[in-house]
Amino acid sequence: MAKRTTKSSSLNPDPNPETEQLAPLPAQAESTDPSGPYSRLTEFDIYLFRAGKHTRLYEKLGSHVVEVNGVVGTYFAVWAPSARYVAVIGNFNGWNKGSHPLNVRWDSSGIWEGFVPHIGRGEVYKYAITHTSGRELEKGDPFALWWETPPKTASVVWDDWYEWKDDYWMRNRGKFNALNKPISVYEIHLNSWRRDPSEPARQLSYNEVADALVPYVKELGFTHVEFMPVMEHPYDPSWGYQITGYFAPTSRFGTPQDFMRMIERLHQENIGVYLDWVPSHFPNDAHGLYEFDGSNLYEHPDPRKGYHPDWKSYIFNYGRNEVRAFLLSNALFWLDRFHADGLRVDAVASMLYLDYSRNHGEWEPNVFGGRENLEAISLFKELNEAVYKDFPEVQMIAEESTAFPGVTRPAYTGGLGFGMKWMMGWMNDTLRYFQRDSYYRRWHQDELTFSTVYAFSENFMLPFSHDEVVYGKKALISKMPGDEWQRFANLRLLFTYMFTHPGTKLLFMGCEFGQTSEWKFDGSLDWHLLDYAPHQGMKECMKALNRLYRNEPALYEQSFVAEGFEWIDTMDRENSIIVYARKGTRTKEQIVIALNMTPIPRTDYRIGVPVPGTWVELFNSDNSAFFGSGLVNPNPLVSEPQEWHGRSASIELTIPPLGAVVLKYQNN
């Protein structure tokens, strides 16, 4: 290998004649930079970067339009410690590798930097990198704020300045985004939520989507939206989960400012925005992070830790400090510059376990002989502490599918520090139950009741996400048994159970109106279905459920503690009926829910109630406005002093076929 000189001439290192000869470096033009040395990095920045503690690297690395000594140009800085030569190439210099070399810093940080005068916003560029072995690469900028639209692969000099007009939301979002408030999330894939009906192949812009999305979400009553990954990615079938541009919203739909405007418009309607964030893996595209400087820079060098067998992608090296700083900075970037109200962290389980999707002998135990990835665990703790320190009103949500303990417990108590965790067990058990023919449900009541055994061990979010309506799993409505009427009744019943069960809610787009086909990432939802009564009824039911959830403190004030839930009856297996109560912090905030899992109406059905007095029907999933049969209860329902279900008072009511009844106590 060649010796690295420490002089400013290290861009042309003198090869050691006793070792292999390296390929010659590109001929370099004489510098025309009139500004002299310039850097955005301080010694403290370098210290934090090398210690893995820097959380604002996006202010330092990447490309930044600046004025230096009266000259306007662009400052470039990139981490490439295994490079012996780095230059900026682009249209401005005819992609000449020798035209604009960067200088390697003297402090052994591995950062190369330089100022290129007279170029600015909109300039297309890449980094030409020569590894110490002589291998040559052309890479996009890991910190680029915008990229060319795929299949083009270059970065674009841009900025993240935006004059935000969401002050009310930002001042008050703690009131909307707290764990004791209603959180009902509408999950969206931007590329396929809606297309131009007159030109179905055309993707709508951020602005066009916002024109339709903002009023639609407001009408439906969801409190938040969650965007599947919007970060730049080269491959549409990855759904955005194979990212190359971690600091840039995809250019498919417009500029970063266009995406900011979409978020702003949602905030102006008091709708929060969560973003899918993917720190678990990245693809091996030639212009991306993989072997960025010719070495395993961002990915772990050991394939047992650095290669994901399921997704054929590469795993970050969570033990490398500079990589940790990259990920910490990226998470805070979206909360800081894009006003995101939280991050849903993808594939947490794949990061927590060294043996995830690996057979015996394909993984290496940790220093204690266990299967836990200690480096990833410490990263999660540090990440969540950093996020909640700077942005205490946001939510960090873990997509974690195992029983790993303490995911939503504070890091100082040994937990990972997330705000919420997806309740995957509830989702699997519930869908398994609802897919059964109603005749057989009597023998599987425990699939519904088991969730409360562990419901308060974490702060759970109940998800019916994109993963449940793709790859042969069928649309939610198509999972339901029976004829058309029964399928829609079952789906309304399922959603009522979801919205009255402890936990926050997440529903994938299209499920709210009974999309009949599986999700297609490259086409629009089937909006024409809303021309038909069953689907319009399903949408009206979802509106009513969101309204019920938002308006009734008993359904959200105590979602994560056992005091907010009480089983009334789980033993009527023969009729497949379950009854339970939800409770707010005040005695009068009490709700009773009765679910009938069969197509047989149950009239004069007696249930015990927690408090004697007057009860009123707030919601009935069989309402004719929802395409139901209209078998509802008269109001009010006055309890009788007849002991039932272990309670001193009880009422008689009608529970409609495949229906749910929600009653509220009225304080006389």
Q: Tell me the pLDDT tens digit for each residue of 564-585.
A: 999 999 999 999 999 999 999 9
Return d(Cα 13, Cα 208) in angstroms, integer: 53
Nearest to 152 by CA among 64, 244, 87: 244
Instruction: pLDDT band for 24, please (50, 70, 90 cuts).
Output: low
Q: What is the pLDDT of residue 77?
A: 98
Q: What is the pLDDT of residue 9?
A: 30
Q: What is the pLDDT of residue 574?
A: 95
Residue matched to tokens 């419901």: 455
The answer to whether residue 346 is catalytic is yes
Catalytic pick among 399, 468, 512, 622:
399
Lowest mean pLDDT among 20-29, 42-51, 351-360, 650-659: 20-29
Return d(Cα 354, Cα 368) in angstroms, integer: 13
The answer to whether residue 458 is catalytic is no
Q: What is the pLDDT of residue 197?
A: 84
Classify domain 43-157 at the CATH class level. Answer: mainly beta
pLDDT tops 90 at residue 31: no
Instruction: pLDDT band for 23, please (50, 70, 90 cuts).
Output: low
Q: What is the pLDDT of residue 15?
A: 34
- Supply the CATH classification number for the domain 562-666: 2.60.40.1180
pLDDT, tens digit (0-9, with 9 covering 90-100), for 357-389: 999 989 999 999 999 999 999 999 999 999 999
Q: Is the dihedral of CA 449, 452, 454, 459 positive or negative?
A: positive
Structure tokens at 362: 């394909």
N- to C-terminal Cα separation, the chain: 87
pLDDT, tens digit (0-9, with 9 covering 90-100), for 618-652: 999 999 999 999 999 999 999 999 999 999 999 99
Catalytic pick among 346, 458, 512, 617:
346
Q: What is the pLDDT of residue 198?
A: 85
Q: What is the pLDDT of residue 25?
A: 63
> Mean pLDDT across the stretch 546-574?
97
CA distances from 310 to 298, 315, 350, 356 (A): 19, 12, 10, 10
Q: What is the pLDDT of residue 225?
A: 98
- Ranges of each domain in the chain: 43-157, 562-666
Q: What is the pLDDT of residue 13?
A: 34
CA distances from 426 to 187, 363, 368, 503, 580 (A): 18, 30, 32, 11, 16
Nearest to 507 by CA among 242, 142, 101, 221: 221
Lowest mean pLDDT among 33-37, 129-133, 228-232, 533-537: 33-37
Question: Helix 43-51 to helix 321-337 angle, to the nearest 10 degrees?
Answer: 110
Over pLDDT 70: what percentage of the chain? Answer: 94
CB 435 within 8 A of CB 481: yes
Instruction: pLDDT band for 196, please (50, 70, 90 cuts).
Output: confident
pLDDT, tens digit (0-9, with 9 covering 90-100), for 401-458: 999 999 999 999 999 999 999 999 999 999 999 999 999 999 999 999 999 999 999 9
Lowest mean pLDDT among 29-43, 172-186, 471-485: 29-43
pLDDT tops 50 at residue 10: no
User: What average pLDDT does the structure give for the chain?
Assistant: 94
Structure tokens at 376: 């990833």
* Cβ partners under 8 Å of residue 448, min gap 6: 429, 430, 433, 497, 578
pLDDT tops 70 at residue 29: no
Q: What is the pLDDT of residue 1?
A: 34
pLDDT tops 70 at residue 16: no
* Cβ partners under 8 Å of residue 9, min gap 6: none
pLDDT tops 70 at residue 608: yes
Over pLDDT 90: what percentage of the chain? Answer: 93
Q: What is the pLDDT of residue 404?
A: 95
pLDDT tops 50 at residue 19: no
Higher pLDDT, 27 or 282: 282
pLDDT, tens digit (0-9, with 9 covering 90-100), for 39-88: 999 999 999 999 999 999 999 999 999 999 999 999 999 999 999 999 99
Helix H segments across 162-302? 167-176, 190-193, 206-220, 256-268
Return d(Cα 354, Cα 49) in angstroms, integer: 26
Nearest to 519 by CA among 155, 254, 191: 191
> Mean pLDDT across the stretch 471-499?
97
